[in-house]
A and B are shown apart, each in its own frame.
Chain A
């Protein structure tokens, strides 16, 4: 089969699936914490910021559509904005053209899922098939402008934003956030997951104290860090950089599990 046709057909299925799932999850966010939703804090905030105006929702999505399009050209990555911003905002815009009642539109998982599936189907197909037809000069803009900008956002801007939020939220979340954030950057290469977990643990202890729940949470966090450290071979790297001898059994264990550090 023709390659473009294959990409188009697969994209339609993929787009409908992600549109359906993401939009239903986003609508459920408005019923959280009673109902488990799916999306992101920034998605929730941005949807609220558009104040049930379909034009605002549409243009917000449009800005990120061009971002995703440019990114697809340069690198083949559609960007996380597809699920976080474009699909939810365009589904909301379509859903609100005739009806401004939030309960019946944006907060209604059935209606959002239906519109989202349609938006996703068209959007993902367009992004994946027309990317190659964009001029080279635009590909270079995508690679040289959007590439660095999104890298800086992930590191170091987002870690700092979350870090300051953790510090401002109180001594406990600030302390846990700082320790877990620093460790997360050492172990995982990005501090954000650690800071977020720090806020969860710190605020959990603030609200509940040291109960069975918060103890289990802290235990899971410790396991997560130990597991990630081993998988990335951080223990070996640490010993090497401290100019200490790596025990033979440890390097054999890493060789056997294929977790020797790469850099």
Chain B
């Protein structure tokens, strides 16, 4: 990495101001610019290897059910277009967005992009080895992660860190939307539960209400209630 001059010099003064040795200061390894691709590489290696686990043993992708279903659709039918386009679209969007807002979205970039989109592209091209072998999956994922991390830093250098870069590119707007999107999951679970079967719907409602009463996130209660009632009053299943 040839891009860390600015941060190391800028951060060199920071540790002096800190009296406690155990907290890494800005400019130390843990908060340095060039550590970022390393962390992305570690995470991407794990996520790609998780997709390998799914490809071989049908468990282990780090994506959501709906996104994994696209990859599975490809594995069943041999046509990976949907998974590849969806994953690659998210990956590109997040690589452009990540450096602007200072936060790389793990879900879109790594879990959907590296975990689903890139494997789908490889499989569409007939390259199966990195998904069949664990020892190949790890370095493949790490390499992809390191490249993404380096690319993010390069874009960051050209935009946010460039002279006069005073914009946060709507980070606050997306922060608000991200926060409120998470809140919808609980009610959605209750609606899905009531659609699946009446007892499961009642259990889900009860669980959510109790969790809300106990000042806990109601999504957890909705899920636990649905599962508990589903255990005693099984639904037919799809």
- Residues on A lying within 8 angstroms of B by beta carbon are 3, 6-7, 10-11, 13-18, 20-22, 24-25, 27-29, 31-42, 44-46, 59-60, 62-64, 66-67, 70-72, 74-80, 82-84, 103-104, 108-111, 113, 120, 124, 128, 131-132, 135-155, 157-158, 161-162, 164-166, 168-169, 173, 184, 187-190, 193-194, 196-197, 199-200, 202-204, 206-208, 211, 213, 216-217, 220-221, 224, 227-228, 231-233, 258-259, 261-262
- Measured CB to CB, the nearest residue on chain A to B153 is A36
Q: How many A-B residue pairs have CB under 8 A?
A: 420
Q: Which of B63-105 contact A (CB under 8 A)?
A: 63-69, 72, 79, 81-82, 84-86, 88-90, 92-94, 96-105
Q: Which of B2-49 contact A (CB under 8 A)?
A: 20, 22-24, 26, 30-31, 33, 35-36, 39-47, 49
Q: Which of B122-162 contact A (CB under 8 A)?
A: 124-125, 134, 138, 145, 152-153, 156, 158-160, 162
B49, B50, B107, B153: the one within 8 Å of A84 (CB): B107
A11, A28, A42: the one within 8 Å of B53 (CB): A11
Q: Which residues of A contact B107 (CB under 8 A)?
A: 40, 80, 83-84
- Residues on B lying within 8 angstroms of A by beta carbon are 20, 22-24, 26, 30-31, 33, 35-36, 39-47, 49-50, 52-54, 57-69, 72, 79, 81-82, 84-86, 88-90, 92-94, 96-108, 110-112, 124-125, 134, 138, 145, 152-153, 156, 158-160, 162, 164-171, 173-182, 184-185, 188-189, 191-193, 195-197, 200, 204, 211, 216-217, 219-221, 223-224, 226-227, 230-231, 234-238
Q: Are A67 and B237 in contact (CB under 8 A)?
A: no
Q: Are A169 and B64 in contact (CB under 8 A)?
A: no
Contacts A71-B65, A193-B90; A76 near B58 (Cβ below 8 A)? yes
Contacts A76-B61, A145-B196; A36 near B53 (Cβ below 8 A)? no
In whole angstroms, how far apart are the Cα atoms of A193 and B108 in the complex?
Answer: 9
A78, A132, A221, A227: the one within 8 Å of B62 (CB): A78
A64, A77, A190: the one within 8 Å of B65 (CB): A77
B72, B156, B168: the one within 8 Å of A36 (CB): B156
